[in-house]
């Protein structure tokens, strides 16, 4: 049974698109036939992060309006054979995303894909709503600071009240917390909320922690999802995230500051 | 043969409606004042269902011409849908005029003695003052008019007069977190929340509010003027608490004695009191 997973946050700039790209790539690397849909109509970014911006011909609005068949709009990822991108339109506005139209696309995708990842725009307006409406599971991306946590709380409330599952009285959307841009040093210094602080407020299960890292920016600029960066913390953290999502027990890494022991300090690295 | 798919589903819901309490048997006076009142906010009352509260005129034996009143109200853009309370004869006449019969909500509408010096604050005015708004998108059961809260002046907000002290209330129980932007209104009921109430969320109950988890949002108990209502929580971290319209914000933090501790909130005179709950053992 195909799963629809929305990557959402409320607040902008917390790492939704970065996460969508890496999460979808990770699912595909594990053998799931995966499609990732950019719902940020008017401000499309996912194609850039995935490095397929030069191959965009048709987009989700073309498909909704019947200008193009769905399979013509899907772009095959350059890293994974079983990963496809459905780009957003750059020129239309969000109102073109009709809920019915999105529903038809998702139903059609469910026939041939295992995982459908919906990259939500920021905010709680129509675009974000249409991204979350059909979700079975939600990856709520939060940065360790109060405004991001508050916005995630708001999104969780909307998911619980207005998603299709909520409206139709089905089993609620399964919620997962993903903390991104986590800097253990700054948490220890009291400048950032800790994972515990965030969970104390949001009270949903933690699926992963992605450390703050400059390599994310380089990955974005080069059009490579961060999960493909060899030997980086971020790639490891995203792989852990995907493993946990697939039901594996993986210990949480990057949560506590590495305490350099006296021994280490004397003799350097590992 | 295929079974017919169901054509309807009957559900029990609580819908917000307005009650216009009739305070005089003089219907000309009633019509004149009602016309003036509704003229102030014609769009707001457009096609709004309204019930007539007959509690105050039940004893005086008059039987209003309900068909005429319904036509008059329709002329003003609102729909009379029924009567609340009233004498047996009044209710019979209302029923014959095609109006629904709601059970009485209390012995009679009592006007809250907010200002003891003044004889009777006008009921209609206070209802109009609490300008209701459209349902916020994901509020749980019901929308509720925003109480005019002004953090700068923690004064008494005139409660909408409808007090049911001593009556048995039902209870609305919620076992999921109430999150930022969500609002729960327990109409004519107590409210029990078994999960966290986060900052930016709002609880409103006509009766008491119990939160068996941290209370970080706003909690307004006794929303229709029951000064005996109380708020209980296992961890008081609220942004605002209010009993019967008397509210308190915590600009400088919640007092140490109750902050993040099991506590109750109640009204002593015009003063909101915060008290720690006694230790369990």
User: Which B-chain residues 169-208 have CB contacts (< 8 A) with chain A?
Assistant: 176-182, 195-196, 198-201
Query: Which pLDDT score, from 0 to 100, does residue B114 have?
Result: 33
pLDDT over 70 at B111, yes or no: no
Q: How far apart are CA B124 and CA B38, in angstroms?
A: 10
Query: Which pLDDT score, from 0 to 100, does residue A197 have?
Result: 94
Contact B138 A150 (CB under 8 A): no
Helix (H, G, I), strand (E, B) or coil at A87: coil
Mean pLDDT of chain B: 77
Query: Which pLDDT score, from 0 to 100, does residue B223 have?
Result: 92
In sequence order, which residues have a C-beta less than 8 Å from that of residue A83 and are 6 or more positions away? A24, A25, A27, A28, A34, A35, A36, A76, A77
By the 10 Å C-beta count (0-12 exposed, 13-18 middle, 19+ buried), B131 is classed as: exposed
**Taking a C-beta distance cutoff of 8 angstroms, is the pair B57, B86 a contact?**
yes
Q: Average the pLDDT over each of A64-68, A87-91, A219-223, B132-136 and give the range with the smallest value.
A: B132-136
Q: pLDDT tens digits for A61-85? A: 999 999 999 999 999 999 999 999 9
pLDDT over 60 at A217, yes or no: yes
Query: Which pLDDT score, from 0 to 100, does residue B38 have?
Result: 78
The predicted model gives B228-256 an average pLDDT of 94
Q: Which of A46, A138, A58, A54 is nearest to A83 (CA)?
A: A46
The predicted model gives A108-132 an average pLDDT of 95
Quick count: other Cβ atoms within 10 Å of Cβ A18?
27
**Taking a C-beta distance cutoff of 8 angstroms, is the pair A143, A135 a contact?**
no
A158 touches chain B (CB under 8 A): yes
In sequence order, which residues have a C-beta less than 8 Å from that of residue A166 and are 6 or more positions away? A159, A160, A172, A173
Contact B200 A203 (CB under 8 A): no
**Taking a C-beta distance cutoff of 8 angstroms, is the pair B102, B95 a contact?**
no
Q: What is the DSSP string of A154-212?
A: HHHHHHHHHSHHHHTT-SPPEEEEEEEEE-HHHHHTTSS--HHHHHHHH-S-EEEEEE-
pLDDT over 50 at A1, yes or no: yes
**Taking a C-beta distance cutoff of 8 angstroms, is the pair A246, A71 a contact?**
no
Percent of chain B with pLDDT over 70: 74
Contact A201 B196 (CB under 8 A): yes
Query: Which pLDDT score, from 0 to 100, does residue B39 have?
Result: 78
**Taking a C-beta distance cutoff of 8 angstroms, is the pair B199, A150 a contact?**
yes
pLDDT over 80 at B156, yes or no: no
Any idea what the Cα angle at residue A207 is, between residues A109 and A150, rounded to 5°?
Answer: 95
Query: Which pLDDT score, from 0 to 100, does residue B277 have?
Result: 94
A154 touches chain B (CB under 8 A): yes
Q: What is the DSSP string of B2-15?
A: PPPPPS--------
Out of B137, B195, B200, name the one closest to residue A153 (CB). B200
Query: Which pLDDT score, from 0 to 100, does residue B122 have?
Result: 36
Q: Which residue of A has its CA nearest to B178?
A: A157
The predicted model gives B25-41 an average pLDDT of 84
Is the model more confident about A39 or about B251?
A: A39
Banded pLDDT at A263 (limits 50, 70, 90):
low
A1 touches chain B (CB under 8 A): no
pLDDT over 50 at B150, yes or no: no
Our CA dihedral for A118, A246, A226, A137, rounded to 10 degrees, sits at: 20
In sequence order, which residues have a C-beta less than 8 Å from that of residue A154 and are 6 or more positions away? A10, A124, B179, B180, B181, B200
Burial A78-115 (b: 16+ CB within 10 A, else e): eebebbbbbbbbbebebebbeeebbeebbeebbeebbb
Query: Which pLDDT score, from 0 to 100, does residue B242 have?
Result: 95
Mean pLDDT of chain A: 92
Rounded to 5 degrees, φ, ψ at A219 are -60, -45
Q: How far apart are CA B112 and CA B160, in angstroms?
A: 8
Query: Which pLDDT score, from 0 to 100, does residue B101 have?
Result: 86
pLDDT over 90 at B267, yes or no: yes
Helix (H, G, I), strand (E, B) or coil at B175: coil
pLDDT over 90 at A228, yes or no: yes
Contact A162 B137 (CB under 8 A): yes
CA distance A150 to chain B (A): 7
Helix (H, G, I), strand (E, B) or coil at B173: strand
Rounded to 5 degrees, φ, ψ at B53 are -90, 120
pLDDT over 70 at A51, yes or no: yes
Name residue, tokens 């305490």. Answer: A259
pLDDT over 70 at B4, yes or no: yes
Q: The pTM is what?
A: 0.66
Q: How far apart are CA B23 and CA B264, in angstroms?
A: 37
Query: Which pLDDT score, from 0 to 100, does residue B168 have?
Result: 67
CA A50 to each of CA A38, A47, A215, B269: distance values in angstroms, whole numbers, following the listed order = 11, 5, 15, 64
The predicted model gives B185-205 an average pLDDT of 94
Helix (H, G, I), strand (E, B) or coil at B231: strand
Q: pLDDT tens digits for A170-190? A: 999 999 999 999 999 999 999
The predicted model gives B266-277 an average pLDDT of 94
The predicted model gives A18-42 an average pLDDT of 96
Considering only CB atoms, which chain B residues are within 8 Å of A151? 180
CA distance B180 to chain A (A): 5
pLDDT over 70 at B155, yes or no: no
How large is the ipTM?
A: 0.74
Q: How far apart are CA A250 and CA B266, in angstroms?
A: 48
Instruction: Give the largest CA-CA distance in chain A.
Output: 67
């Amino acid at each position: 049974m195909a799963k629809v997973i929305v990557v959402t946050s409320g607040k902008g700039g917390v790492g939704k698109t970065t996460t969508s790209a890496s999460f979808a790539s990770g699912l595909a690397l594990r053998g799931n036939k995966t499609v990732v849909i950019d719902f940020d109509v008017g401000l499309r970014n996912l194609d850039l992060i995935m490095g397929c911006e030069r191959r965009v011909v048709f987009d989700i609005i073309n498909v909704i309006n019947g200008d193009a068949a769905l399979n013509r709009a899907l772009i095959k990822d350059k890293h994974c054979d079983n990963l496809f991108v459905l780009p957003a339109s750059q020129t239309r506005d969000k109102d073109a995303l009709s809920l019915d139209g999105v529903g038809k696309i998702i139903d059609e995708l469910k026939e041939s894909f295992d995982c459908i990842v919906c990259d939500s725009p920021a905010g709680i307006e129509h675009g974000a709503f249409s991204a979350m409406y059909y979700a079975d599971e939600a990856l709520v991306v939060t940065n360790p600071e109060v405004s991001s946590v508050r916005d995630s709380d708001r999104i969780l409330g909307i998911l619980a009240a207005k998603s299709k599952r909520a409206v139709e009285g089905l089993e609620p959307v399964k919620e997962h917390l993903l903390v991104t841009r986590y800097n253990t040093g700054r948490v220890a210094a009291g400048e950032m909320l800790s994972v515990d602080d965030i969970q104390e407020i949001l009270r949903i299960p933690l699926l992963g922690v992605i450390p703050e890292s400059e390599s994310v920016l380089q990955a974005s600029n080069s059009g490579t999802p961060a999960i493909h960066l060899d030997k980086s913390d971020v790639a490891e953290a995203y792989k852990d995230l995907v493993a946990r999502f697939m039901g594996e027990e993986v210990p949480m890494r990057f949560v506590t500051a590495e305490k350099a022991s006296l021994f280490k300090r004397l003799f350097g690295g590992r | 043969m295929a079974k017919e798919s169901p054509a309807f589903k009957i559900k029990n819901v609580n819908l917000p409606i307005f009650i216009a309490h009739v305070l005089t048997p003089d219907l000309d006076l009633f019509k004149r004042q009602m016309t003036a009142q509704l003229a102030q906010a014609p769009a707001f009352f457009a096609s709004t269902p309204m019930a007539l509260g007959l509690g105050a005129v039940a004893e005086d034996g008059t039987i209003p011409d309900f068909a005429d009143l319904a036509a008059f109200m329709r002329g003003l853009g609102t729909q009379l849908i029924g009567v609340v309370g009233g004498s047996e004869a009044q209710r019979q006449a209302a029923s014959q005029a095609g109006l629904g019969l709601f059970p009485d909500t209390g012995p009679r509408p009592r006007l809250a003695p907010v200002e003891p010096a003044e004889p009777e604050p006008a009921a209609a005015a206070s209802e109009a003052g609490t300008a209701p708004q459209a349902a916020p998108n994901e509020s749980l059961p019901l929308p509720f008019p925003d109480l005019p809260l002004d953090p700068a002046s923690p004064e008494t907000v005139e409660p909408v007069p409808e007090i049911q002290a001593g009556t048995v209330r039902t209870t609305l129980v919620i076992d999921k977190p109430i999150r930022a932007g969500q609002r729960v209104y327990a109409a004519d009921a107590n409210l029990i929340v078994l999960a966290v109430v986060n900052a930016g969320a709002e609880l409103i109950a006509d009766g008491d509010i119990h939160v068996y988890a941290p209370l970080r949002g706003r909690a307004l108990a006794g929303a229709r003027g029951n000064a005996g209502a109380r708020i209980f929580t296992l961890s008081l971290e609220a942004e605002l608490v209010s009993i019967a319209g008397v509210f308190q914000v915590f600009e400088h933090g919640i007092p140490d004695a109750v902050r993040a501790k099991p506590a109750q909130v109640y009204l002593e005179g015009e003063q909101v009191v915060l008290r720690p709950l006694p230790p369990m053992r």
